[in-house]
Structure 1
Amino acid sequence: MALFSASAFAFSGVAAEAADAPLPFTPPAGWPNALAAGAPLMPQAKLTLKGPKTGDTVSQSVVIFTKTPTTGALEDFANQGRLGLTMMQGSVTGQRAGTICGEPARFTTARTAIGPRPMLIEQSFVVDHGAGYATTYVRDGAAAADPKIEATIAGLCPAQIDSGKTSELPPGWTATIGSTLNMLGMWMNPNAPGSMINLLSMPYEGKTLAAFSPSSFQNLGASNPNSPAFTVDGVTDGTLCNLPARFFTSRVVMSGVTMTMKQEAVLANGMLYILSYGRIGTQAEDPTGVAAMKTLCPRT
């Protein structure tokens, strides 16, 4: 999954992680990391709530609270969130104004799909003391919302989100400080604007990568006329650093511009690492970017 802007990270449940941790690959020399210390406007996941486990992880409800430094107004922050939804192939179905803990807020609902399964996304946005707080609730679109968890969400003020404290959760729900899907870095090619490498990590319960497929992206794009057109050109299985790996090549058309992507997923110690190299289709491959993709080697 390649993501192309900080606004998408902030509102898709992908959280920026501290950039001082050892990396499982060697970034290209001279490519600055947008997540390095002092990088502006990068989101931080504060709290993740997970619903009861179902027959598959796709239909499991998830609520993610993120915090992003912002100097903008509430409406600008909410508009960034709607842009993030578009990049997630979400179709906005409703917007309204309201309040959260007495502060002005904006609320958005959207629909998308993961493969054949419809999904519903509910988001809220509030700005408090120079920071934007976004809440993203993703659930099975064919199931009713859990009123108890919605009440919990509505009662969480920015100060509580910062502390990671929640009220008592409904049965089967769990809380985790931070996010289960983390952005470990985003390196920008200084010689090719729009070209970048990013690295994600997430817990993965499977023993193999057989269930990790890009087919859901194809279905997402086909179901929403407002979403970027996503085409998977190739999928191969192999190894990288003596670890199970799956390699993808794909293209995505955004606002008339074609992005070409190379992606690789490596499984190690119950964690999935996804390294993506994206560039504008008219740009030539950068040899240093290609070489960096071959260095992914998580510690085992």
Structure 2
Amino acid sequence: MSLRLSTVILPYLRWHEGGRSAWTRAEQLGFHTGYTYDHLSWRTFRDGPWFGAIPTLTAAATATERLRLGTLVTSPNFRHPVNLAKELISLDDISGGRITLGIGAGGTGFDATALGQDPWTPRERADRFAEFVPLLDRLLTEDSVSYEGDFYSAHEARNIPGCVQRPRLPFAVAATGPRGLKLTARHGQAWVTTGDPKLFENGTPEQSVGALRGQIEKLTDACVALGRDVHTVDKVLLTGFTPDRGRPLESLDAFVDFAGRHQELGFTEIVIHWPIPDSDFAADQKVFERIAMEAPAQLR
């Protein structure tokens, strides 16, 4: 199977001052999917412009025709399944069935306290995620849903006519722990990882490859336990968070080498960040565009 190449466009640009052109250019360059982060604010971008993911993707859907679109990732930190399902069904309709929902358990960043709550512990995040994903699955596939859980509820929540994509839009589940991988195996059409965060500062690329191999083995075990073939789950690597950092975007050859090593592990999609000057995602735009246009042919 050929390796798909996608990009993630951070929502920090005003739509009419570079935002729209990035999405249309991503389509022109042939990327498989254009993702964006679903945060209220994020890291070093907190004190600058930052726009909402769903409105941004809605605008991108009207500005493009073929490019798949998605979040990477949405989390329960400030979302409720009932509201989110309605927005996703609308977005899937507007895009003509081009939406993928990247979804994860969330973290301890600014989103975790923006609504005035204390940050959830890892256990609390996992507990909420384990309830959030199945409920969202139901809301996107059933006309009417009633549910009472420990964290979320729905009372005759209507979602007619449902998604354009059937039975619903695909889930790309970000997970590395056993509970998250079980959710991936049960509900996910794809699995997302950024690698092992413990290796980012002092690890080596070789150690990172080994850690990713271990994650895929655990995903395989989770699928086997549920009687599912792991090959039916797409495997997505969001780059920029492994010890390689930005080196794969330094040249076409460097990227092809990086992507090829991860393709051998079983990854089916590599996601690279749209270059942002003076940030952790700085890269030469010309090199980036050459990678987009030429690398997929070399990775078939």
Fold shared by both chains (TM-score > 0.5)? no
Between Structure 1 and Structure 2, which shows a larger proportion of helix residues? 2
Tell which has more relative contact order, 1 or 2 (C-alpha 8 A, sep 6+): 1
Between Structure 1 and Structure 2, which shows a larger proportion of strand residues? 1
